[in-house]
Amino acid sequence: MSKATLQSVDVGSAPIDRYRELLDPEAWSAFDVCMREFAGQMRGRTLWNVNSTPRGGGVAELLAALIPYDRGAGIDERWLVIEGSAEFFAITKKIHTLLHGVAPDGSDITAAERREYEQVMTRNAAALLEQVKPDDVVLLHDPQTAGLVAPLSSRGITVIWRSHVGVDQPNEMVRNAWKFLTPSMNGASAFIFSRRAYVWDGPDGSRIHIIAPCIDPFTTKNRDLAADEVARILVAGGVLRGTDGEPTFLRHDGSKGRVIHAATMSAVPPSDARLVVQVSRWDRLKDPVGLAEAFANHVAPKTDAWLVLAGPAVDSVDDDPEQPQILADLRSMRDRLRPEVRDRIVVALLPMQDVEENAAIVNALQRRADVVVQKSLAEGFGLTVAEAMWKGRPVVASRVGGIEDQIEHQKSGFLIDDPTDLEGFGSAVVGLLQDHDRAAALGREARRHVIRQFLAPRHLMEQAQLITSVI
């Protein structure tokens, strides 16, 4: 059997000194000392991150944001992407959905699917073992990589497996998915989960570690933008009507970029439109159809706002084959609406030719939003919420998964207890659109909360301490 071809993702390096001004002196000192000590512990070793896609989705964004800081601190950290067939990614998407307690077509993993998964893992393990040294540390991300634990750990390599998905109350579908994955993961030195509730019954407690995800405010997606920059980027990206100025943005490495690709839009809001925005992959668990229904029935009749459902071009995310069908369902629902409502529901396929250009457009769109919504039916963590909160936006979101960890209800946003409560979502959005002072106050507290809890230094320190403990 031939070995796979692994893709190497180069994300450069970044100085941790960027955080000196954001953190208080005590927090900065602890961060600085921790990173220096970690670099010493890792001298002569490489830290490998392995996942299933170089772009699209929260894991790729998290790696792109965090790896440069470790590298800037002197750690040899690298990122590899596995190779898989279309059948393999259909299987792992099925597992992903099952781990959220939702049944795709046929809820059991078949013998044929198991064989395909194992064959892809065998090919990728062979390729990895040509690059990874025995003293290295390998951090594997999500179900797509779970089958790599055994072949790597059996060679004496330190392996940590991280799950970015989970559900608060597991049902039989969730348990069956874990039963499929668990036998191949016993050799891991540690397991990382985003929340304590997501830990399944398999690993012993001494190997379990909880590390909540984070955002980096210095990435292109989160960097502060002035109002005129926001307008120029959105007009150039085809997201708003207006006169194109000089739509430049600052890349992560400090160089200047320019928006040259436009989104594919079902309609283009006017420059002065009030916007309700959700940014996510085209995933049934993000419930874009439900959000469109909530807007059509409970927001559009009471306000003049527009809903923008924004996500990547559907052919740009390698490990998620369901996106075209979700998008088709959304468009079909939208087409059935009255024209005066339909025209204010915008489906925006954001360009992905340049990942940082895409990030600049998302940044501008979230900053331009009057209200940001995350109507997930289930959620691993949902960092689009923290991103919007960092930008001072009022957020209305489902009380599911890690979203509940990010928003303090009625203090830094609104949580809707039942993610299928369309009227509840609509009422909360309308209330914020009609009460500008309340919306602004929620946004200010949201930004303060993110600074306290969800920036990169906390995550980098917790990961460094874990890796140090297992080597």
Alpha-carbon span 410 to 446, nearest angstrom: 10
- Identify the pLDDT of residue 58: 81
3-state secondary structure of 401: coil
- Residues with Cβ within 8 Å of 259's Cβ and at least 6 positions away in sequence, in order, are 232, 233, 236, 237, 247, 248, 249, 357, 360, 361
The pTM (predicted TM-score) of the whole model is 0.84
Alpha-carbon span 127 to 421, nearest angstrom: 47
Alpha-carbon span 224 to 364, nearest angstrom: 9
Residue pair 6/82 in contact (Cβ under 8 Å)? The answer is yes
| Residue 396 Cα to chain centre, angstroms | 18
Homologous superfamily (CATH) for 227-453: Glycogen Phosphorylase B; (3.40.50.2000)
Residue pair 375/409 in contact (Cβ under 8 Å)? The answer is no
User: 256 - beta bridge partners?
Assistant: 250
First to last CA, the chain: 32
Please state which architecture CATH assigns to domain 7-214+455-470. 3-Layer(aba) Sandwich (3.40)
- Identify the pLDDT of residue 100: 80
- Residues with Cβ within 8 Å of 280's Cβ and at least 6 positions away in sequence, in order, are 286, 288, 310, 311, 374, 376, 384
> For 211-305, where are the alpha helices, taking DSSP H only?
227-236, 288-298
Predicted confidence (pLDDT) per residue in 298-314, tens digit: 999 999 999 999 999 87
- Identify the pLDDT of residue 381: 87
3-state secondary structure of 8: strand
Q: Looking at the chain, which residues constitute the CATH 3.40.50.2000 domain(s)? A: 7-214+455-470, 227-453
- Identify the pLDDT of residue 259: 97
> For 45-105, where are the alpha helices, taking DSSP H only?
58-72, 86-99
For residue 395, give the amino acid letter: V
The CB-side HSE value for 441 (13 A sphere, CA atoms) comes to 9
Residue whose entry in the numeric block shows the structure tokens 């079902």: 266
Residue 452 main-chain phi, psi, to 5 deg:
-75, -35
How far are the Cα atoms of 16, 68, 76 from residue 44, in angstroms, in the given order?
Answer: 21, 18, 8
For the chain, list residues with pLDDT below 70: 1, 104-106, 202, 315-321
Predicted confidence (pLDDT) per residue in 3-45, tens digit: 899 999 999 999 999 999 999 899 999 999 999 999 999 999 9
- Identify the pLDDT of residue 460: 97
- Identify the pLDDT of residue 105: 65
